[in-house]
Every structure is written in C-alpha cells, then in structure tokens.
C-alpha cells in the first residue's frame, strides 16, 4: 500500500519573528533546518518515490533536507528537481534525459504555495491584533471563506491546491508510488480536509506543527487506511 507523507516546512525566519509570511519567500531558520533534519530521521523507515513541493524556498529546503539527511528514505536514489518545458524561466542548460532507476524526482508547483495573505504580509502578528482586534485577526487567519485584505481565504487556497492534488499527487499514489509533499499550513490543510472529509467548520481548527511528518497509508483507490503523526 502506498504512503502519502505530508510535512509543513520547518520554522522560517518570519515564523520565528511572528510575522505574516504568505508568498514572501523567506528561508528556514536554524531551528527550521533542525526540524527538517529530525523529520528525516523519523522517516528513515519509510521510502519515497516522488516528491512535490511549493515554489517557496522554505518548502523546497525542507524537502531536500528530509530526503538527504537520511539516505535510506530515497532508497539510494539521487533527488533531482524537475524543470519542464512548460516553465518559461527554465534555461534548459541541463540537456539531460534522466535515469529514472537512479533518481527521485522533485516537482515544484505554485498550486501548493502558502495562502496569500495580501496586505498582512510582513506585518507583526501581535501588532496586527493590537490594531484590528484579536477577533478580526482570528477570522482572517482561521475562517474558511473570509479573506484578509487583498489576500486569499482558506477556501481560495483549497480551490487551487486540490485540482493539483487530484491530478498529479493522487495519480502517483494510485500507481503505487510513495509520495512526499512538503508544503505549507494552509495548502496542507486543504489536502487534509479532503483526505479526512473535514467540514468547513472543522478544518480551521486543524493545527499543523512545523517540521512534523504526517503519514497516510493509502490503498490504490486513493482511500486512507491509516494515519500516523511522527511527532
């Protein structure tokens, strides 16, 4: 039975500074890199065949550390980021057809990016509470359909993340591949909402710790058989 491993990126520098991050491309903090290394050790008894991440560096960095800190996870394969012809910014210098038996592909997509926080991005969370009130900030952060000023709701995030999950990630699982997804609190909430059939009232209450793997044992029909949190 294939495994789906979900991991929220390790602590970023702005997580540590208590700032709204969203699409701002902030790297991991020292603690965040340590969380990713610990996650890799917790996953040493699992095997990954393919990895998906967002386009944001903190997710990609977490994926790479998870896959390389304990080489057993890759089964001796080399993780390689895949750049297709549909990427207008890729320079195409690799000229390499690949050796699938020796490589573990990592695919990046903006559809797994964090929720866009609009005008809140870069603001201190406590100062935002003091300015707008705790109740309003809680609605912006945790309601299902309420958007922060100029930003996305969790529902908006779900509408872009879930088609990719069903078309690409679920297809790999149905083919029998073990999949690692390194992404963000809100894009992962969207996936978990679908996997666990959570309601729009339940999913905002779901808290995902940074750097903690969640493993879903699946069948090849895409149904969850077992869930394990490796905390």
114 included as an active-site residue: yes
95 included as an active-site residue: no
Mode of pairing for the β-strands spanning 213-218 and 3-8: antiparallel
Residue 47 domain boundaries = 3-229
Q: Which of 9, 35, 152, 184 is catalytic?
A: 9
Counting other chains too, the contacts that 155-163 makes at CB distance below 8 Å and 24 or more residues apart are 155/200, 156/115, 156/116, 157/114, 157/115, 157/186, 157/187, 157/189, 157/190, 158/189, 158/190, 158/193, 160/111, 161/111, 161/112, 161/187, 161/190, 161/191, 162/190, 162/191, 162/194, 163/111
Per-residue pLDDT of the chain (231 residues; tens, 9 = 90+): 999 999 999 999 999 999 999 999 999 999 999 999 999 999 999 999 999 999 999 999 999 999 999 989 999 999 999 876 667 777 766 667 778 889 999 999 999 999 999 999 999 999 999 999 999 999 999 899 999 999 999 999 999 999 999 999 999 999 999 999 999 999 999 999 999 999 999 998 899 999 999 999 999 888 999 999 999
**This prediction's pTM:** 0.95
Which CATH number belongs to the domain containing residue 131 in this structure?
Answer: 3.40.50.1240
Q: Where are the beta strands (DSSP E) in 33-93?
A: 50-53, 78-81
Question: What's the number of domains the chain is made of?
Answer: 1
Q: Which of 35, 114, 152, 184 is catalytic?
A: 114
């Amino acid at each position: 039975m294939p495994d789906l491993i979900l991991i929220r990126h390790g602590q970023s520098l702005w997580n540590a500074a208590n700032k709204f991050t969203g699409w701002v491309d902030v790297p991991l903090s020292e603690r965040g890199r340590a969380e990713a290394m610990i996650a890799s050790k917790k996953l040493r008894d699992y095997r990954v065949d393919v990895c998906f991440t967002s386009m944001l560096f903190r997710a990609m960095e977490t994926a790479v550390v998870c896959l390389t800190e304990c080489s057993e996870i890759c089964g001796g394969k080399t993780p390689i980021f895949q750049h297709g012809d549909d990427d207008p910014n890729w320079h195409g210098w690799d000229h390499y057809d690949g050796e699938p038996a020796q490589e573990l592909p990592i695919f990046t997509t903006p559809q797994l990016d964090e929720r866009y926080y609009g005008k809140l991005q870069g603001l201190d969370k406590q100062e935002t509470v003091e300015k707008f009130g705790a109740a309003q900030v809680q609605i912006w952060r945790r309601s299902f359909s309420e958007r922060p000023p100029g930003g996305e709701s969790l529902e908006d995030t779900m509408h872009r993340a879930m088609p990719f999950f069903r078309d690409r990630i679920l297809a790999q699982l149905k083919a029998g591949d073990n999949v690692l997804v390194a992404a963000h609190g809100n894009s992962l909430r969207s996936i978990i909402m679908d996997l666990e059939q959570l309601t729009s009232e339940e999913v905002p209450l779901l808290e995902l710790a940074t750097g903690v793997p969640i493993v879903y044992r699946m069948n090849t029909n895409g149904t969850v058989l077992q869930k394990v949190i490796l905390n």
